Amino acid sequence: MFSQLTLKEVKYQLSNVTFYLLIAVVLLFYVTQYLPYVQNGVLPEPKSTDGYYGERDVTDPEAEIKVIYANIRMYYNFGIIYKQGLLVNKTVILSPEQKEAMKSAMDKLGEFKPKEEGIEDSREEMTAGMDRAMIPKLKLDNPLETVEVKVSYEEYLQIVRDLDKALGGSTYYSDKYRKYILHQPMTYEEAVKEFEEIVAVDRVTNAYGRVFADYMGIAAGLFPVFLSAFVLIRDRRSRMQELIYSRSISSIKYISSKYLGILICLTALYLAIAGHATFATAIAARNAGYAVDLLAFFKYTAAWIVPTLMFSTSMGMLVSLLFGNGGIAILVQFVLWLLSINSLGGSYELYRNVVRFNTLGAYDKYMAWLPQIMVNRIFYVILSILIVMSASWVLSLKRGSINGSKTFKADMVQYKDIA
């Protein structure tokens, strides 16, 4: 009986225009964000003549100073800097005094000494956040080869901290945010090692599966709310509340059937796309002669994306029920979503309901972050179930004040009156 009710919700969603819009948006994400990764076949083996092999995190103190020097130099030339904001980064145009502070910090740190003529100076800007597979082969400035360091690590720390202060704080030179810009170009040897890891440990598909789940998770963190925020509002709009609420079905059954119905539709959509991604990626990888894991995309979809879908669905139902308004639910979800996605990977605090991992490969990092990711995902599964239960409780109160105000507060007043 419960399953039949769930099936009715599935059927409804299959006739719902909003659901098809959602499919279109999610597919668009897939086609524009993920498919380019595999358009020209899977990751080619690095060749010693490639020149550029992507980026890796800086680990060496001297390399760190060089990278920071190059970064200051580039933004000094641009005349702007970026600051970390709450939701989005802020662009700040440098005043003459600030430019002076940049210049003086730079001069103290080191010196720009290119060995060749005509080296491009904008490596950071062009490659930030990109992967080797995405970047055309460029001959770019490598600060490790073009910068000469003039200070000790302690002196360097003092200089960048002072610079952050002079620029008004929250810059990428502060202790808090510096790690976000500490990337350096990989060497050929490092690239080969990473490549071999992707082939051997990740069997190619797992590395791509994580990137897939990263991009597709972004969509999962927001768009389901457009279905869930209106599923209960629909009863009021259709003026069916009296008819439904006076029936013997329990509130938990009613809410759960709608929740599951939506979740089934969304999960089916994501699994179908994961199926296509498997096809597009694994086939290419197989053709290139690699061993593949055919379950990789389904694994990451189930473990990373489904909890996100669960959360966006349940959240939309609860908030729309509390406020009698789907718009507020969308707004709430939008803010949570912005907070969740403003990292490219490595941050899995419990307030983030989307798992970001915007790097191809990086198995070491994945292993290091896995415990946090797992805690985060389990948290969201449990939270979603609790939210569904809360929504049922709210509905059971609403069922007794059909004529009352649309908001929960007024219902609570009524409830207290008789309790």
Partner 1 sequence: MEISIKNLSKSYGKKAALQDINLDISKGMFGLLGPNGAGKTTLMRILTTLLRKDSGQIMINGIKLEETARIRELIGYLPQEFSMYSNLSVYEAMDYLALLSNIGPVKLRNQLIMELLHKVNLEQNLKTKVKALSGGMKRRLGIAQALLNNPKLLIVDEPTAGLDPEERIRFRNLLRDFSEDRIVILSTHIVEDIEFTCENIGILNQGRLVYKGAVKDLLASSEGAVWTASIDRGQLDEVRSSSTIISSVSEGDKVKLKLLAGEKPMPEAEEARPTLEDAYMHIMKGGVA
Interface contacts to partner 1, rule CB under 8 A: 1, 4-5, 8, 12, 15, 234, 238-250, 254, 399-404, 414-415, 417-418
CA angle 208, 209, 212 (to 5 degrees): 85
Smallest distance from the beta carbon of 326 to partner 1, in angstroms?
Answer: 16
Rg of the chain's alpha carbons, rounded to an integer? 26
Nearer to partner 1, 287 or 407 (CB): 407
Return d(Cα 316, Cα 330) in angstroms, integer.
7
Nearer to partner 1, 79 or 400 (CB): 400
* Pair 290, 36: CB distance under 8 Å: no
Smallest distance from the beta carbon of 269 to partner 1, in angstroms?
Answer: 21
Smallest distance from the beta carbon of 24 to partner 1, in angstroms?
Answer: 21
User: Residue 398 — φ and ψ, nearest 5°?
Assistant: -65, -30
Nearer to partner 1, 39 or 405 (CB): 405
Nearer to partner 1, 181 or 412 (CB): 412
Strands 55-57 and 183-185: antiparallel
Smallest distance from the beta carbon of 401 to partner 1, in angstroms?
Answer: 6
* Pair 207, 213: CB distance under 8 Å: no
Nearer to partner 1, 343 or 401 (CB): 401
Straight-line distance from the first to the last Cα atom of the chain, in angstroms, rounded to the nearest whole number? 33
Q: Which residues pair with 184 in a beta bridge?
A: 56
Smallest distance from the beta carbon of 316 to partner 1, in angstroms?
Answer: 19
CA distances to 50, 73, 94, 104, 159 from 107, in Å: 32, 10, 18, 5, 11
What is the total residue count of the chain? 419
Residue 80 amino acid letter: I
Nearer to partner 1, 104 or 414 (CB): 414
Smallest distance from the beta carbon of 311 to partner 1, in angstroms?
Answer: 27
